[in-house]
Amino acid sequence: MAQVLNLAVLMFACRIPSRRRLDLVTDDAVFRDNWCVFSRARTETVICSKQVINVLARLDREEISALRPQLLKTLIRQKQVPDLYLLGHVMMGGDGTGIFSSSKPHCPQCLTQEHKDGSMTYMHNVLEIKALGWNGLAISVLTEAQLNPEDGHYDKQDCETKAFRRALPRLKETFPRQPIVHLLDSLYCQGPIFQDIEKLKQKFICCFKRGSIPTLYDETLELRKLSPEHRITRTFLREAHRIVQVHTWVNDLEYQGLKLDFVMCEETVDDKTTTFAFLTNFSVTEKNVEIIAQGGRLRWKIENEGFNEQKTGYELEHFCDCNNLDVMLNLYYLLQIAHLFMQLLARSNLVDGVTHLTFLASLLLEALRNLPLPEELFNPNPPRCQIRFSKAPP
């Protein structure tokens, strides 16, 4: 089992683009020996990609999924990820992504999209929750599949917000004592989601647009005028550009039985001004308003560092056995683990000056094919070593 899972993780970490290419790469004596050392199990040959798929088809996908929060807990316990925290809370971001799309039905639980010409697209989407860091880390924590009922009886299809509300109690169960702040897109700007987070005694910072809750937005802008003292202006240089940031806030907004605070950041770069607005259940003050606004703006990292990286670099669709949802999801979970390892490798002192994950993946693959790992790694009690993580870029 260790060999199967390690081969799948290495496959994604090295960005091998297809199962056929994987079989060609693994038909190599040095790669075989390194794979045996890596998984700590001797074998004469490397298993083929079809055998990997057959094993993953019989595995409980919840077992594989549960590996990811264990990895994050280890990093937190060892105090290796201080950049995940905002005001003492681990930053979490959720977003939806597609892992399968076809013009033909895959299974009764497929999501469907009807086009203007009458054609249908059948999809499998997931909601992904990642722990986000100021230094660009995006660590997969939990995945909630978006699935329609198997019997086909439903009023509305499953969607991202429904999946998020299902994922919240699972996240609380996984991290019962860990303070968490959710960095939310404007899609999640709605009372039921805010209430669910409040019941779990967690925090949120949500992008706030007028189209989300128009009456509350207009009311907040009027109340902002009544508190001119709630205003901080900063001027500084960033990459030779003059930046002016104006932070304003409003306390104690009432919405559906909740007390919320409002934060607005107006940033002018040279002559162009961009406005960012947020709702939060933090108590906003002059001391924390800027860090709260920065946390809200960090929300884009789950897309840039997480999904876009995986969609363009890992080519998950080439590996999926489209006849089996368990295989599809198990591969997706192993991809998340590989992505975490590569992010940590890029930030460690094991490599020098290599931060682009695509280039790092090619270096890793060439090393596995040409540089034998030392035999002492087979020792069940190898000597302890320490890997240090580099500082965040300025």
Instruction: List pLDDT tens digits, range 269-282.
Output: 988 999 999 999 99
Residues 54 and 172 in one domain: no
**3-class DSSP assignment, residue 187:** helix
Where does a domain end: 309, 343, 364? Answer: 309
Q: Are residues 88 and 216 in the same domain?
A: yes
The answer to the question of residue 207 being in a domain is: yes
| Predicted local distance difference test score (pLDDT) of residue 388 | 79
Distance CA 163, CA 175 (A): 18
266 part of a folded domain: yes
Which amino acid, one-letter code, is at 320? C
Residues 29, 98 within the same domain: no
The verdict on 67 and 157 lying in the same domain is: yes
Asked if residue 301 and residue 173 are part of one domain, the reply reads yes
pLDDT of residue 219: 94
Cβ–Cβ under 8 Å, residues 374 and 333: no
Distance CA 143, CA 111 (A): 17
Q: Which amino acid is at 266?
A: E
* 3-class secondary-structure state, position 28: coil
Alpha carbon distance 217, 222 (integer Å): 9
Mean pLDDT for back-to-back runs of 10 residues, the chain (394 residues): 91 88 89 88 88 92 93 92 95 88 86 90 91 90 91 86 96 96 94 96 95 94 93 90 94 94 94 93 96 90 61 57 81 92 88 81 92 81 74 52
Whether residues 290 and 345 share a domain: the answer is no
Among 309, 335, 364, identify where a domain stops: 309
- Is residue 392 in some structural domain? no
Q: How big is the chain, counted in residues?
A: 394
Question: Within this chain, do residues 84 and 131 fall inside the same structural domain, yes or no?
Answer: yes
| Same domain for 226 and 106 | yes
Q: What pLDDT does residue 253 have?
A: 95
**Which residue's entry shows tokens 């190599």?**
28
For residue 156, what are its two tokens? 């509305």
36 inside domain: yes
- Nearest CA to 72 out of 61, 60, 84, 64 is that of 84
Q: Which of 251, 283, 309 is the last residue of a domain?
A: 309
Instruction: Indicate whether 193 and 341 sit together in one domain.
Output: no
Residues in a beta bridge with 274: 267
Angle (CA) 308-204-98 rounded to 5° is: 25
| 105 and 48 fall within a common domain | no
Whether 112 is covered by a domain: the verdict is yes
Strands (E), the chain: 85-86, 89-102, 111-114, 120-132, 138-146, 180-184, 203-207, 231-238, 241-255, 258-269, 272-280
* Domain of residue 99, CATH code: 3.90.350.10
In a domain, 166, yes or no: yes
Q: Are 189 and 207 in contact (CB under 8 A)?
A: yes
pLDDT given for residue 285 in this prediction: 96
- Write down the pLDDT at residue 336: 92
Residues spanned by the domain of 329: 2-58+314-378
Tell me how many domains the chain contains. 2
Whole-angstrom distance, CA of residue 321 vs CA of residue 325 = 8
Do 203 and 269 lie in one domain? The reply is yes
| 387 lies in some domain | no
Query: What is the H or E stretch that residue 75 is in?
Result: helix 67-77
The H or E element that residue 278 is part of is: strand 272-280
**Strands 231-238 and 241-255, bridge-based pairing:** antiparallel
Position 385 in a domain? no
The reply to whether 268 and 337 lie within a common domain is no
